[in-house]
Amino acid sequence: MRSGPISRAELARATGLSKQTASEVVRDLEANGWIRERGQTQGLVGRSATTYELDAGRAYVLGVDLGGTKVHVALADLSGAIAAEEVDATDRRGGHHVIEQIAALTRSAAARAGADPRRIRYGAMGSPGVFQPGSGRIIIAPNIPDLDQIDVVKALRVSLGFGVAVENDVNLAAVGERWRGCCREAATFAFVALGTGIGMGLMADGKLIRGARGAAGEIAYLPLGGDPFDSRGYRLGTLENAIGSVAIMERYRGLGGQGAEDVRGVFDRLVDGDAAARTTMDEVARVLAQALMAIRAILDPELVVLGGSIGARPELVERVRALLNGFMAEPLRVEASPLGGRAALMGAVGTALSTLYDSVFGMTDLPGEQARTAGVETAA
């Protein structure tokens, strides 16, 4: 969908509705304040047309990315432009304290954007762990105490005053990449996050795949990179045991590597030409490439986006690409996440905006490109 000034007649042509109906729609939207007159067309043959534009400040949506260490909040206006962002360290007391923290950050973002908080209509929140739509709880959410004890959806609705959809953060990252990342043209793709943990968000034919119990994309459990029948290893996941951040450090130290405190450090040593770092990354890439081969064999995605603090590193992406290109007849397209750590946040905003659009315009398409430029510098 394109945005920007549009006339009644143009709208009719774009939507396929009759001129008459389009005109009624415009009248209606204007009466409700969703759009307003912008100007006139000029220079073309025929009568000049009155153009309309979205009243971007008429409504806002909230996106939340709740992590074990940080809470990230973004407010976007009706046009999809980010009006304000806030970050904070996640409240360690967990549970309701985190809910209250999100509410406070939202108020602060609204103030910074100069937006009436009552104009925020919908929200979406990404969180690690598996979300149970039935109970509204997030189960297996690590690092945040008591979050699995409360109905998060209900609590957020009470604290914020509007509905908030909850979704796995990696799934939202996939949504984000499709909205404003590198998957705008792709209907079927996978977002593989490699950071502290390993996860994947899947989109097939433009829809998120959640699986029967909401555990689709839990590729930590892929039987690759180790003995899948080792029941101790299975608890964390065979793949995670092989290329999770802990495993990477073990590999590095096992190869005699020194001078790196964490995975970021290993990447730093890689630049210095450290042999252990190189071998470590070669090994990790080799296992990761196998994971992508498995994803491809099962799902046939148009591309796979690598994200997360480790996955998005070009040193790793290059290695994986080289391995896959080496012998596949039609190599799998692999990209580093352009949105990086903001993918889930963008996905949350996009999801909330999509809900808003659906309720206002009766459509689900999101506005594209143009909205992307403004307002991001407001970010905390």
Partner DNA sequence: GTCCTTTGTAAAGGAGCCTGACGAATGTAG
Partner DNA sequence: CTACATTCGTCAGGCTCCTTTACAAAGGAC
Told to check if 318 binds a second copy by CB under 8 A, we report no
Contact characters 44-73, DNA, x per CB under 7 A: xxxxxxx-----------------------
Minimum gap (Å) between residue 39 Cβ and DNA: 10
Cite the DSSP H helix spans in 126-237.
152-160, 169-180, 231-236
Minimum gap (Å) between residue 356 Cβ and DNA: 18
**Number of chain residues interacting with DNA (CB under 7 A):** 24
End-to-end CA distance of the chain: 29
CB under 7 A: which stretch of 11-19, 123-131, 279-287, 302-310 binds DNA?
A: 11-19
Q: Hey, what are 309's tokens?
A: 């603090």
Pairing of strands 6-7, 50-54: antiparallel
The site partner of 186 among DNA, a second copy, none (C-beta below 5 to 8 Å per kind) is a second copy
In single-letter form, the type of residue at position 191 comes to F
Collapse the DSSP code of 200 into the 3-class scheme (helix H, G, I; strand E, B; otherwise coil) and give the result: strand
Told to check if 209 binds a second copy by CB under 8 A, we report yes
* CB 316 within 8 Å of CB 270: no
- CB atoms near residue 351 (< 10 Å): 26
Minimum gap (Å) between residue 191 Cβ and a second copy: 13
Minimum gap (Å) between residue 43 Cβ and DNA: 6
Among 62, 64, 74, 224, interactor with a second copy by CB under 8 A = 224
Minimum gap (Å) between residue 165 Cβ and DNA: 24
Told to check if 326 binds a second copy by CB under 8 A, we report yes
Told to check if 214 binds a second copy by CB under 8 A, we report yes
DSSP 37-60: EEEE--SSSSS--EEEEE-GGG-E
- Residue numbers 287-306 binding a second copy by CB under 8 A: 290, 293-302
List Cβ<8 Å contacts ≥24 apart for 96-100. 96/146, 96/150, 96/155, 98/66, 98/71, 98/144, 98/147, 99/150, 99/152, 99/155, 99/156, 99/159, 100/159
DSSP 140: S
The site partner of 363 among a second copy, DNA, none (C-beta below 5 to 8 Å per kind) is none
Minimum gap (Å) between residue 35 Cβ and DNA: 13
Which residues contact DNA by CB under 7 A? 7-10, 16-21, 23, 25, 27, 40-50
